[in-house]
Amino acid sequence: MFNLFKKNEVDNKNNLSLISIASILIHSAKIDENFTDNERKIIKKALIEMGAQAEKVDGIIEEAEEKEKDSNQILEFTREIKNVDEDKKKSIIEALWNIVYSDKNADMYETNLMRRLSGLLYLDDKVVGDIKQKVMKKNDISS
């Protein structure tokens, strides 16, 4: 019985983390005031790659959209995920850059958000820059 409680506790923590991650991804998608279907697909794919069950992704995104809409700052989202392992942080940053460059362009609001999020997630600028270059190359975008 103890293991059941422990598993539920871990599942709840993972779900909360995924909702926070989804909230950040949604926030980045909405920052240019144009949340597209392509960005939604990127978010779904990223969440599944980070451990979300495919059948629960839509519910996670729905909760995250409410959370993002009701929030006025990104600190609320980063507070819950800044302690995840570095590989997961890199995955989050890569998903964010994929969203930013989904329209082949990064405006000043998007790049400013990325700079702020990189700092709040305690990731080195070089690491974030390398991920950005990888995404740009993958999407055939010149700097």
Residue 128 lies inside a defined structural domain of this protein = yes
Residue 79 lies inside a defined structural domain of this protein = yes
Which long-range contacts (C-beta less than 8 Å, at least 24 apart) are formed by 81-89?
Answer: 81/17, 81/20, 81/21, 81/24, 81/121, 82/120, 82/121, 82/122, 84/17, 86/123, 88/50, 89/121, 89/122, 89/123
Those residues with Cβ within 8 angstroms of residue 49's Cβ, 6 or more apart along the chain or in another chain: 91
Residue 26 lies inside a defined structural domain of this protein = yes
Segment 7-23 shows an average pLDDT of 69
Residue 86 lies inside a defined structural domain of this protein = yes
**How many angstroms separate the CA atoms of 115 and 123, rounded?**
10
Q: Domain total for the chain?
A: 1
Q: Is it the case that residue 12 has pLDDT exceeding 80?
A: no
78-125 pLDDT per residue, tens: 988 888 889 999 999 999 999 999 999 899 999 999 999 999 999 999
> How big is the CA angle at 88 (ends 24 and 115), to the nearest 5 degrees?
50
Q: Which domain holds residue 37?
A: 2-138
- pTM of the predicted model as reported, rounded to 2 decimal places: 0.87
Residue 59 lies inside a defined structural domain of this protein = yes
CATH for 32: 1.10.3680.10
Residue 121 lies inside a defined structural domain of this protein = yes
Residue 118 lies inside a defined structural domain of this protein = yes
Residue 143 lies inside a defined structural domain of this protein = no
